Amino acid sequence: MTLKTPQEYIEDLKQMDIKLYMFGELVKDYVDHPMIRPSINAMAMTYQLAQNPEYEDLMTATSNLTGNKINRFTHLHQSTEDLVKKVKMQRLLGQKTGCCFQRCVGMDAFNAVYNTTFEIDAKHGTRYHERFQEYMKYVQDNDLTVDGCMTDARGDRSKSPGEQDDPDAYLRIVERRPNGIVVRGCKLHQTGMINSHEILVMPNNSLKESERDWAVCFAIPVDTPGMIYVYGRQSSDTRKMEPGKIDRGNIFFGGQEIMTIFNDVFVPWERVFMDGETDFTTMLVERFAGYHRQSYGGCKVGVGDTLIGAAQAIAEYNGAAKASHIKDKIIEMCHLNETLYACGIACSAEGRKTAAGNYLIDLLLANICKQNVTRFPYEMARLAQDIAGGFLVTMPSEQDFNHPEIGPLVAKYSTARSDIPAEHRQRMLRYIENLTLGSGAVGYLTESMHGAGSPQAQRIMISRLVNLKHRKELAETLCGIRENCDVTW
Amino acid sequence: MVGNRVGVKFCGGCNPQINRSKLFKELERKLPVKCGIIRDRDQEVWDVGIMLGGCSVACADTDEIRRLARNWIIVSGSMVDLFPLEESQIADAVVEKCRLLLNPV
């Protein structure tokens, strides 16, 4: 079986026995918990769309390992066409869910680990790549969701992992046994962690030769003994506990971020894909980050599409859609959104084959993509709030709209255009609120800022990847400081 | 020797991460045989083609170009046949690969 249904996926989660804490309590039966279920629904959509012939071309691919049809979220990209389709698929999911749908990190981790392990083996004579191929076949054949797990707790940012007062600030190997390793540490901001079947852990950053114990990459099931999960709060998250659904804004979907603690967890050797090869940590981190920065040119664009739609809708409901400044603001939102998409497509189209055979995006353009993503959604959110008006943040609650006595009065004075029901305006304003300052803003804004690396991380990569010497020589040639060998006439 | 026609195919050079001209001159000096220039409309197939791509995209690496030589060594930015090297190491790596292709063991 290579394509699960959303029902099968949700059933898998129900079989998991995990240690999850939220609001200080151990959570039982988390799948149906009202605060968690929207994020599971978002992940389920990645399974749902793959079943639909209308979306098959984007949502599925042919495995290079088995020849089977698989969900593209488990695919190792085999061409620049695959890289482009990945971005388009992510845009589609962003449009369908209006949130972070969480499955991208795993896909990006697969591709980075696949080509890095190949090159580790070529240099060191290890056999990680073969192991990883077997793991990938397992993932693909069972259509698993895997959390790509990179960001450590990190402790004192001025110190490297080996210099930390607490060596567990970065996840590390604490014991090596004949049959495997034991690891300890904590990974933060783990998107969709408890909505996943498996975890693929990678080192957080480049490591020194003396930091071998931190140079570790491995995979484990989410319900491995020793794993502890603590659910991250989001703004307005407890609205999901309220009786109605309208005030949630996005009534179906949402994101999820988990503090993930590895409390002396055992990993068998067959699931270890890096142990001590510090000289390959930079490659793994940069490639994973590159793929994930590419992803944002798809997913946030799709969510941005819904925000543009919401801005247009609320302008119409308000009776303001014909005003030239409103039209111009929506044009600006489109300009910003499509620019992000253009970056996602560009870094894909300029991708290349790796020695392992799968394709890698153009790293410079992927970093440009993400650098823009750290800014443009914020401006789009500002424009959407401008268009929506102040009622966005002063509107009464759903319960007030439903009150038998004051409800009709609340609805009467919440109506803008008389042919548009008050409830439509209420729902659309809540959707914009969700995305621009509610729980959806976690994924649309702050994740755009910090996900796949904070802004400065991309600036460092840009400075490394741009050939400034060449550009300087261009200018020196044109102004006559250097000889111009091209002008021979 | 199986054949000794060695040629270089340049990419368009729009965004070079390496100095292709300098690399070409170094190859001309170090290669065991004379090095020509591969052009799109060449009729005779070269024995070894060295693609000089200025960046990782290697946009000149197409099926049509590949047909112009029996064997290829691909330089794409600071990589030779997809393995990264320092720019200063590229010429020697290419020369060594070329020797092996011209005189297979």
What lies within 8 Å, CB to CB, of A331 at 6+ separation is: none
Q: How far is A379 from chain B (nearest CA, A)?
A: 31
Q: Give tens-digit pLDDT for B67-87.
A: 999 999 999 999 999 999 999
One-letter amino acid at A329 equals K
Of the partner residues B16, B82, B83, the one whose CB lies closest to the CB of residue A353: B82
* Whole-angstrom distance, CA of residue A141 vs CA of residue A2: 5
Of the partner residues B19, B58, B83, the one whose CB lies closest to the CB of residue A355: B83
Q: Give tens-digit pLDDT for A167-182.
A: 999 999 999 999 999 9
Q: How far is A91 from chain B (nearest CA, A)?
A: 24
Of the partner residues A119, A350, A467, the one whose CB lies closest to the CB of residue B57: A350
Residue A274, beta-bridge partner list = A217
* Whole-angstrom distance, CA of residue A345 vs CA of residue A84: 6
Q: Tell which of B56, B63, B87 to mutate to test the A interface (max A CBs under 10 Å).
A: B56
* Chain A residues with a Cβ under 8 Å from any Cβ in chain B: 119, 122, 350-355, 362-363, 467, 470
pLDDT at A98 over 60: yes
Give the closest residue to A148 by CA, choosing from A207, A79, A254, A74: A74
Q: How far is A235 from chain B (nearest CA, A)?
A: 42
pLDDT (average), residues A358-367: 98
Token readout for A229 is 């999960």
- Give B17's contacts in chain A (Cβ within 8 Å): 467
- Give A119's contacts in chain B (Cβ within 8 Å): 83
Q: Tell which of A120, A348, A352 to mutate to test the B interface (max B CBs under 10 Å).
A: A352
Strands A198-201 and A180-191, bridge-based pairing: unpaired
| Average of per-residue pLDDT values in chain A | 97
Residue A226 gets the label, from left (phi > 0), alpha (psi -120 to 50) or beta, of left
- Give B83's contacts in chain A (Cβ within 8 Å): 119, 122, 355
Q: Give tens-digit pLDDT for A216-246.
A: 999 999 999 999 999 999 999 999 999 999 9
Q: How many residues does chain A have?
A: 489
ipTM passes above 0.85:
no
pLDDT band at A2 (very low <50, low <70, confident <90, very high): confident
Contact B83 A122 (CB under 8 A): yes
Residue B61 near residue B46 (C-beta atoms within 8 A): no
Count CB neighbours of A29 within 10 A.
Answer: 8
Residue A181 near residue A275 (C-beta atoms within 8 A): yes
Catalytic residues of A: 100, 104, 191, 257, 292, 296, 299, 447
Q: What is the enclosing helix (H) or strand (E) of A176?
A: strand A172-177
Q: From A347, which residue of chain B is nearest by alpha-carbon distance?
A: B57
Contact A467 B83 (CB under 8 A): no
Q: How many residues does chain B have?
A: 105
Contact B17 A467 (CB under 8 A): yes
SS3 content of chain B, % helix, strand, coil (to 5): 30, 25, 45
Q: What is the pLDDT of residue B79?
A: 96
Q: Give tens-digit pLDDT for A467-486.
A: 999 999 999 999 999 999 99
Q: What is the pLDDT of residue A1?
A: 57
Q: What is the pLDDT of residue B1?
A: 44
Give the closest residue to A192 by CA, choosing from A371, A451, A436: A451
pLDDT (average), residues A304-317: 98
Residue A248 near residue A440 (C-beta atoms within 8 A): no
Q: From B19, which residue of chain A is nearest by alpha-carbon distance?
A: A470
* Whole-angstrom distance, CA of residue A393 vs CA of residue A425: 13
Q: What is the pLDDT of residue A400?
A: 98
* Whole-angstrom distance, CA of residue B1 vs CA of residue A44: 61
C-alpha to C-alpha distances, A335 to A34, A168, A186, A345, nearest whole angstrom: 36, 45, 39, 15
- Give B58's contacts in chain A (Cβ within 8 Å): 352
Q: Give tens-digit pLDDT for A187-218.
A: 999 999 999 999 999 999 999 999 999 999 99
Q: How far is A352 from chain B (nearest CA, A)?
A: 6
Exposure string of A60-88, with b = 16+ CB inside 10 Å and e = fewer, is bbebbbeeeebbbbbbbbbebebbbbbbb
Contact B58 A352 (CB under 8 A): yes
Q: What is the pLDDT of residue B43?
A: 81
pLDDT band at B3 (very low <50, low <70, confident <90, very high): low
Residue A219, beta-bridge partner list = A200
